[in-house]
Amino acid sequence: MRNAERGVNGNGENNGTTATARPVSRDATCGGAACQGEAPSGPRGTVEIENRNPLPRRDGHALQGNNLMRTNLGLMAALVVAVLAMAATGARGAMDAQTIAAGLAAHDRALHLTDGWIRDPYIVPAPDGYYYLTGTTPNPRDPREAADRHNTGLGGESIVGYHMQLWRSKDLISWESLGTPFSLLDGYWARKMPEAFKGDDRSQWHLWAPEAHFLNGRWHIVHTTPGPVQRGSNLAVTKGDVLQGPYAFPLGDLSRGRHDPSLFQDDDGTVYLLWGNTEIAPLTKDLTGLAAEPVRIDPAGSRPGPDGKPISRIGHEGATLRKIGGKYVHFGTAWSTDRGRKGTYNLYYCTSDKITGPYGPRRFAGRFLGHGTPFKDREGRWWCTAFFNANVPPLPREAMRGRDAGDDAYTINPQGVTIVPLEVTVGADGEVTIRAKDPDYARPGPEEAQTFGP
């Protein structure tokens, strides 16, 4: 199928097909046990995949009566403390509109667009003239978002919710909330395993890394989740060009176990599913199954791991694919030390002439850009989303320049959505080179596990 029939393609570009996402009114208030879950603080399985699976409350029940009142008073007090702490530490909100507008035109520095709690921010330009934004977020109106701005989203204190929040903007400056057009209650697993969704305690319900792709005149939502159904990722497809339910779930059970899924549509119309770091498979035309066996698309060569064994994969999560010129560009995310939550959360890439490889060597895309979304704006400029992911509050830029960050998890990104300008060049030989234009994102730190060329 030709690009003109497909809306937004796998390169993050649009071609004029109409798509809309209307504001959605939904009772998404975080209340009772939904805000009070407890969880183990250690990693799940290996140190490479962060633990996103809190355990239920110790008492197993929702808060009621006086307990709820005391909890709400406690949250109000926490809000006051948080505001005072922000003032004392110089924490700031997003940039003003004039500063963002000037930065968009200059395309030479990082821009802080929004300041709400978010991880894995995903921005896509759609054919209706809007940019759409989603990501890993708390439930709407969860008071912990303001009280604990540097919550990591992990372990027993996680504030990750089970709704997909959505915003849109004409200019990347002013953002309009469209509510929560999708939640785990709307997903396939709520139909397939309804018993897992019973009860008042929703503290184990977490919707991670949602993406919204406009393909063939419909919106396609993918996400990963550790609970209430373990490894219960979804592929949800709208009935038409409006991003709202009811949804179809063409993959059914086959969607399960796809960590950080993403979609890519090639020039011939074939839709590919990516997951992990990284497997890829074409989907059937009706999206009901895999059209071929999955293959791994690792970069060429290897790097020494923390245990001395070679590592060949591009990273451990957040894989995505773009086509630039004639090259397929495979992006992946890893901590700079290849150890869980040690160093900085970075973005890497490799390129190939064929979607299934072989791919060239692993290359450095940007520091602090892990699980970022590379996208092209309507003026043809490339950007990558970035967000706060660290164990300590963000450090000043000058404090991270030349700093060996291997002893903990660090970032310069404030809470919210930041976009960083990318320089994307296609050489005479067709090779694609990508680098962050902001100097504080352009170079790896001294703790980087891999040595990169100039």
Tell me the mean pLDDT in the region 172-182. Answer: 98
Tell me the mean pLDDT in the region 178-187. Answer: 98
Tell me the mean pLDDT in the region 240-268. Answer: 98
Residue 454 pLDDT level (bands cut at 50, 70, 90)? confident
Residue 44 has pLDDT above 90, yes or no: no
Residue 64 pLDDT level (bands cut at 50, 70, 90)? very low
Beta strands in 195-299 (DSSP E): 206-215, 218-227, 234-238, 247-248, 262-265, 271-275, 279-282, 295-296
> How many CB atoms are located within 10 Å of the residue 203 CB?
24
Tell me the mean pLDDT in the region 359-385. Answer: 99
Q: Which residues of 116-149 are buried (b: 16+ CB within 10 A; e: fewer)?
A: bbbbbbbbbbbbbebbbbbbbbbbbebbbbbbbb
Spatial separation of the C-alpha atoms in residues 242 and 330, rounded to whole Å: 29
Query: What is the structure's pLDDT at 21?
Result: 62
Residue 379 CB partners (closer than 8 Å, separation 6+): none
- Minimal CA–CA distance to 418: which of 97, 133, 94, 177? 94
Average pLDDT of every residue of the chain = 86
Q: Would you kindly state where each structural domain of the chain is located, as residue ranges?
A: 3-442
For residue 24, give both structure tokens: 């959605």
Q: Which long-range contacts (CB under 8 A, 24 or more apart) does 428-431 make?
A: 430/325, 430/326, 430/327, 431/327, 431/351
Burial label for 30, CB within 10 Å (0-12, 13-18, 19+), is: buried
Q: Which residue has the higher pLDDT, 74 or 40?
A: 74
Which helix (H) or strand (E) segment holds residue 169: the answer is strand 167-169
Q: What is the pLDDT of residues 307-332, one digit of tens each?
A: 999 999 999 999 999 999 999 999 99
Q: Which residue has the higher pLDDT, 126 or 8?
A: 126
Spatial separation of the C-alpha atoms in residues 27 and 214, rounded to whole Å: 26
Task: Identify residue 174 by its one-letter amino acid code.
Answer: S
Query: What is the structure's pLDDT at 225?
Result: 94
Residue 256: half-sphere exposure toward Cβ, Cα within 13 Å: 14
Q: How would CATH label the architecture of 3-442?
A: 5 Propeller (2.115)
pTM > 0.95: no
Q: Which strands sit side by side in the sheet containing 218-227, from one edge to the other?
A: 206-215, 218-227, 234-238, 247-248
Residue 91 has pLDDT above 90, yes or no: no
Spatial separation of the C-alpha atoms in residues 43 and 50, rounded to whole Å: 6
> How many CB atoms are located within 10 Å of the residue 287 CB?
21
Residue 144 CB partners (closer than 8 Å, separation 6+): 30, 35, 75, 78, 138, 151, 159
Beta strands 295-296 and 303-304, pairing class: unpaired
Q: Which strands sit side by side in the sheet containing 279-282, from one edge to the other?
A: 262-265, 271-275, 279-282, 295-296
Judge whether 239 and 226 are in contact, CB under 8 Å: no
Judge whether 405 and 422 are in contact, CB under 8 Å: no
Q: What is the pLDDT of residues 113-162, one digit of tens each?
A: 999 999 999 999 999 999 999 999 999 999 999 999 999 999 989 999 99
Tell me the mean pLDDT in the region 378-395. Answer: 99
C-alpha distances in Å from residue 185, one per residue of 222, 320, 329: 14, 26, 34
> How many CB atoms are located within 10 Å of the residue 327 CB?
19
Residue 48 has pLDDT above 50, yes or no: no
Query: What is the structure's pLDDT at 19?
Result: 64
The residue with tokens 């960083």 is 420
For residue 314, give both structure tokens: 């591009």
For residue 398, give both structure tokens: 């000058």
For residue 312, give both structure tokens: 């060949």
Query: What is the structure's pLDDT at 214?
Result: 99
Judge whether 397 and 359 are in contact, CB under 8 Å: no
